[in-house]
């Protein structure tokens, strides 16, 4: 298991002790490894078996990173295996490389009866399950049925394309977690601006699909021959990031200074898998880290752009 995964599980446990944190694995040997180091782990059925009908029709090359594209969708079936144990349980699925702020508004989802499924999007056609909320098993089953229909229509469907269609086809089932309320790239129309910001008033903060994390910490180096470029505006994404200032406080909370004022980024998708950002002990000792270098910043008012 990658070190950043272990670190992030520990970080979530420390930041949210009142909630149950669970790592889902479908490998018996990995399950035993997690038990030995005291990680909160649940062994679930392998989606390659439980969702074999989708694995068989998926049109992606299985030799690409050990069937990477199937697995990005298979984790939704893994969530079903877990939720069948407690069908009325509310869960927030967190991708292993997503950093949650200490003030991530989990309390909002505790009792809210309006939201069935929620996640952020990067543009009109792409959604990201960086933080993927599900109210109960019934809502998840509805989403999984949609996934299956997408693969029947297009065997090369991905998690991103499926999430990009679900919120448009089922607006009564799905909420879009706000990414921004201003500062969009020039190609973004008014309809998309509204979709990405209309729930901002419920949170007074934003949730990262991938845009903020890719800008601040770079892409996964596996995607670019080991090189991680930072501070690159994602022109095909909706949000314009390269003319903004960012601040990190001593508690690890990240803020972006929009023209309308400073707001918090509740989740940061650390696409580069930069381990130091998930190191709870290191962060507690050093205050906070410069996302560009991993070095400690002594001045609590330090700002980087």
Closest CA to 55 of 23, 26, 35, 34: 26
Domain spans of the chain? 3-304
**Main-chain dihedrals φ then ψ at residue 63, nearest 5 degrees:** -85, 0
Model confidence over 191-203: pLDDT tens digits? 999 999 989 989 9
Q: Whole-angstrom Cα distance, residue 99 to residue 91?
A: 17
Nearest to 120 by CA among 78, 83, 92: 92
Kindly indicate whether the domain formed by 3-304 is annotated with CATH number 3.90.550. yes
| Whole-number average pLDDT of the chain | 85
- Residue 45 class from Cβ within 10 Å (0-12 exposed, 13-18 middle, 19+ buried)? middle
Q: How far is CA 197 from CA 66, 146, 202, in A?
A: 36, 25, 10
**What radius of gyration, in Å, describes the C-alpha atoms of the chain?**
19
Answer yes or no: is pLDDT of 294 > 90.
Answer: no
What is the residue whose two structure tokens read 């903020």? 212
pTM: 0.86
CA–CA gap between residue 193 and residue 183 (Å, rounded): 9
The residues, ordered by sequence, that sit 6+ positions from 234 with a Cβ below 8 Å of its Cβ are 122, 210, 211, 214, 215, 241
Residue 43 scores a pLDDT above 90: yes
Instruction: Report the pLDDT averaged over residues 4-12.
Output: 94
Q: Would you say residue 64 has pLDDT above 60?
A: no
Q: pLDDT band at 144, cuts 50/70/90?
A: very high
Asked whether residue 82 carries a pLDDT value surpassing 60, the answer given is yes
Cα 173 versus chain centre, distance: 19
CB 97 within 8 A of CB 129: no
- Comparing CA positions, the residue from 61, 28, 64, 59 lying closest to residue 43 is 28
Nearest to 122 by CA among 240, 259, 223: 240
Q: Give 184's strand partners.
A: 239
Q: What is the pLDDT at residue 269?
A: 93
- pLDDT exceeds cutoff 50 at 299: no
């Amino acid at each position: 298991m990658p070190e950043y995964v272990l670190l992030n599980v520990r970080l979530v446990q420390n930041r949210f002790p009142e909630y149950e944190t669970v790592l889902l694995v479908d490998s018996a040997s990995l399950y035993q490894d997690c038990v030995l180091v005291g990680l909160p782990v649940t062994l679930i059925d392998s989606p390659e078996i439980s969702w074999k009908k989708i694995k068989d029709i998926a049109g992606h090359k299985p030799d690409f990173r050990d069937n990477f594209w199937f697995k990005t969708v298979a984790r939704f079936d893994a969530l079903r295996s877990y939720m069948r144990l407690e069908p009325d349980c509310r869960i927030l699925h967190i991708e292993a490389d997503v950093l949650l702020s200490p003030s991530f508004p989990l309390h909002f989802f505790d009792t809210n009866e309006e939201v069935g499924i929620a996640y952020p999007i990067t543009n009109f056609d792409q959604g990201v399950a960086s933080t993927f909320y599900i109210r109960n098993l019934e809502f998840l089953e509805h989403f999984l049925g949609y996934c299956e229909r997408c693969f029947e229509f297009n065997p090369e469907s991905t998690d991103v394309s499926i999430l990009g269609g679900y919120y448009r086809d089922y607006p009564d089932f799905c909420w879009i977690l706000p990414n921004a309320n201003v500062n969009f790239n020039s190609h973004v129309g008014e309809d998309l601006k509204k979709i990405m910001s209309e729930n901002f008033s419920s949170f007074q903060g934003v949730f990262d699909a991938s845009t903020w994390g890719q800008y601040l910490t770079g892409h996964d180096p596996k995607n670019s021959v080991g090189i991680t470029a930072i501070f690159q505006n994602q022109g095909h994404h909706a949000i314009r990031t390269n003319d903004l200032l960012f601040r990190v406080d001593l508690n690890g909370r990240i803020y972006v200074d929009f023209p309308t004022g400073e707001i918090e980024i509740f989740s940061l998708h650390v696409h580069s898998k930069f381990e130091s950002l998930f190191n709870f002990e290191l962060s507690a000792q050093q205050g906070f880290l410069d996302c560009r270098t991993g070095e400690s910043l002594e001045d609590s008012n330090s700002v980087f752009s």
